[in-house]
Chain A
């Protein structure tokens, strides 16, 4: 599975943990209020998952990712 697919699966897992509707998540999906609807606790969980899986976390960088693609790009195209 490529990184993009893995990251989309992580987000879907978090939505499931929250019993939130599993809307379609695409690379261009906005992560927060107007998009998928992740709140700060969900984002915190995503950040911990990313750190655990890839050893680094885009939420520690200056610019906060806004879309799924922003996260994928943080890790490069691998």
Chain B
């Protein structure tokens, strides 16, 4: 697949930039040659599995793609893991060689190679293995140990639609590559011979700078990213010539869709539902939050099917992950291949509406409250930049609904608090926030609000 897509790009646009950033520019043709030589080197390394523990960069992408071409199994490790966690992870996932951009100071049970010196292993004799390797991704694991999802490159490519018209698209990399959405971004760009643009860092301000500096036409990121971005950008004359915005990784609210449409009236705005386990499942372009109920009617011929059981969304995906590595469970799937997503939903006005994660449900005196329903009400209030609703332990009713709020500049906390209380009168009494706390900023991870 990887080889085939490179050849396709070489036939159409060999000199087009594949990767573009402040510090580098690589054409499809150069990068393909680099990956071929690297694949030759990787195939001569002992062992089957390699891991990468490094920041997003052209080097990382070179190792990822050449690992696929050389038939090696590739584990992507987030830089959020500490060096001290590496020995356990490398052992657990049976890693033979680790690539790093700075050599860890701890003793590791694997061969360690410097990713800044890839030329050392690159071979003049390129090599393409008959079988492509696999990719292992760790789930975010908000509770307990992360799980390790195994994907084939073939399935990753199968999830991406090939554009009928090959316009030259410039996609900003706004997810990390060890995150499913980031990996999918890379695959999408390669499949459609597009250009992947790097920002200087994963700060929102750097992302906006990159959108301005390079001719970025397409951005895929989270609703939280856009809430920050919209708060930074001037309401008009922001100077961004975006043709397309994809929102993903978090449920999107009606108020955010409206704000984005106002700021980008000529931009196509879609939101997607995807997960590390099931992959990309559905793309919604009608500018309404939630998913259309029609997806529940999909039959066996569809790549991804949906069901609702006991308020939870279930998915059966033809090109999802193969299994969890190092786990006896067959990917938490039932005998028919259905997977519980952990997302609680209800049907409202012919729409599948998200209520929050099953694990985040707040129990207020025996009444279940879904944080997202409360959050959607609060986020729509003028003056609220970000809101995170959660369950706070309480000796009287077990848990109460609490909310942390970041306000927009120029709005008084007192006025915003009054507006929140007023707006939440539409909710049941149990669901109204009993604790409202104002904070300067909110912790995010991969531009997603940290929920625990």
Binding site for B on A (CB under 8 A): 17, 19, 40-41, 43-45, 47-49, 52, 57, 59-60
Establish whether residues B421 and A48, one from each chain, have CB atoms under 8 Å apart when the complex forms. no
Q: List 13 A-B contacts (CB under 8 A).
A: A19-B425, A40-B365, A40-B397, A41-B364, A44-B365, A44-B394, A47-B396, A48-B392, A48-B400, A48-B402, A52-B435, A59-B395, A59-B396
Residues of A within 8 A of B400 (CB): 41, 44-45, 48
User: In the bound complex, how far is the Cα of B437 from the Cα of A44, in angstroms?
Assistant: 16
Establish whether residues A57 and B434, one from each chain, have CB atoms under 8 Å apart when the complex forms. no
Residues of B within 8 A of A52 (CB): 435, 437
B421-439 interface mask toward A, CB cutoff 8 Å, 1 = contact, 0 = none?
1000100011010110100
Residues of B within 8 A of A47 (CB): 394-396
Task: Give the total number of A-B pairs whose CB atoms are below 8 A apart.
Answer: 40
User: In the bound complex, how far is the Cα of B402 from the Cα of A47, in angstroms?
Assistant: 13
Establish whether residues A57 and B395, one from each chain, have CB atoms under 8 Å apart when the complex forms. yes
User: In the bound complex, how far is the Cα of B418 from the Cα of A21, in angstroms?
Assistant: 18
Nearest CB of B to A50, in Å? 11
Point out which of A19, A41, A57, A59 has the most chain B C-beta atoms below 10 A from its C-beta. A41
User: In the bound complex, how far is the Cα of B431 from the Cα of A44, in angstroms?
Assistant: 13
User: In the bound complex, how far is the Cα of B396 from the Cα of A19, in angstroms?
Assistant: 21
User: In the bound complex, how far is the Cα of B435 from the Cα of A52, in angstroms?
Assistant: 9
Establish whether residues B397 and A41, one from each chain, have CB atoms under 8 Å apart when the complex forms. yes
Nearest CB of A to B396, in Å? 4
Identity of the chain A residue whose Cβ is nearest the Cβ of B421 in the assembled complex: A17
Residues of A within 8 A of B421 (CB): 17
Establish whether residues B435 and A43, one from each chain, have CB atoms under 8 Å apart when the complex forms. no
Interface residues of B in 359-407 (CB under 8 A from A): 364-365, 392, 394-397, 400, 402
